[in-house]
Amino acid sequence: MKTKLITQSIPYEHEGAALEGYLACRDLPGRESRPGILIVHEWWGLNDYVKGRADQLAELGYVAFALDMYGKGIVTTDAKKASELSGDFYGKPLMADRARAGLDQLLKTGRIDSSRVAAIGYCFGGSTVQALAYSGAPLAGIVSFHGGLIPVPKDAAAKTKAKNLICHGADDSFVKKEDVDAFLLAMREGDFDFQFISYSGAVHAFTNPQADELNRANNLGGGIAYNQKADRRSWGHMRLFFDEIFGVSG
């Protein structure tokens, strides 16, 4: 018999910011510990799309927590506002620190096996989980879906515990070729455990079914678009990755 899905809003704080994340898990007998997945939203904020991803992961048997980077109730569909909100984090310690506050909330649930925790992120969230991994956070792995490739800190190789899966749109105009080349070079030179998968025909935000509508509303000229094939394939690659890093399927 299929178990009930439990969802819950979780209020928390970080450096004076009132935040509210979203927890999703199956109602398992005896509160059995399961692998935990931290989810970081796109630059639009913690919206229904990301909450839906948390529900999907919970249905697979994981305990999923979608964190809040901006503040309780702060979401937008305006690209200019989203750029302002996300711009407070790029290139600053706050990106990893705010994400770590979300990770701490996941670890506090009492429902997870703390030795089997991963983080995934979309666009801005993909960059964020990279920063979180580089900070030395206790993660078995990270998955970046169409995330910007942030520069790899010099000390990251010695601190990073996570394996890396980077799911990238081959035609993503928001990520320059030189950034991809620099990222791959840093991964190789640092002897990181990584996979970099490019999906043909995919541009930025290829996993988000609302991307086409958001593209039109913000006059982004096709810079973001949903790609069903890339969405399906990247989700499948994530599941295989989790099977590997956790030792069992969710």
pLDDT tens per residue across span 55-76: 999 999 999 999 999 999 999 9
Mean pLDDT calculated for residue range 181-187? 97
pLDDT level of residue 247 (50, 70, 90 thresholds): confident
Residues 6+ apart with CB under 8 A from 86: 43, 124
State residue 238's pLDDT score. Answer: 98
Provide CB contacts within 8 A for 160, sequence distance 6+: 133, 134, 136, 190, 192
- Model confidence at 248, in pLDDT bands (50, 70, 90)? low
What's the predicted TM-score (pTM) here?
Answer: 0.96
- How confident is the model at residue 69, as a pLDDT? 98
Q: pLDDT digit string (tens) for 98-141?
A: 999 999 999 999 889 999 999 999 999 999 999 999 999 999 99
Q: How far apart are CA 123 and CA 191, in angstroms?
A: 25
Which of the four pLDDT bands, split at 50, 70 and 90, describes residue 249?
A: very low
> Long-range contacts of range 210-219, CB-CB < 8 Å, 24 or more positions apart?
210/49, 214/44, 214/77, 214/79, 217/77, 218/77, 218/78, 218/79, 218/80
**Total structural domains in the chain?**
1
Any idea what the CATH number is for the domain that residue 130 is in?
3.40.50.1820
Predicted pLDDT of residue 250: 41
pLDDT tens for 35-58 read 999 999 999 999 999 999 999 999
Mean pLDDT along residues 13-19: 97
Distance (Å, whole) CA 67 – CA 14: 12
The predicted structure's pLDDT at residue 175? 97
Q: Is the pLDDT of residue 79 over 90?
A: yes
Domain that holds residue 73: 5-246
